[in-house]
């Protein structure tokens, strides 16, 4: 899943999905 693609399931990835610094959810 990509960050933000299913933000309801990747809550820990939300900051990254919004363009914030950090690793991608793919790894």
pTM of structure? 0.12
* pLDDT, position 8: 55
* pLDDT, position 21: 56
Q: What is the pLDDT of residues 1-27, one digit of tens each?
A: 455 555 555 555 555 555 555 555 554
Q: Distance between CA atoms of 16 and 26, rounded to whole angstroms?
A: 12
DSSP letters, 3-26, are TTTTTTT-GGGHHHHTT-SS--TT
**In the chain, domain spans:** 1-27
């Amino acid at each position: 899943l990509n960050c933000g693609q299913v933000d309801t399931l990747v809550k820990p990835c939300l900051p990254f999905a919004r363009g914030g610094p950090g690793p991608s959810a793919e790894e």
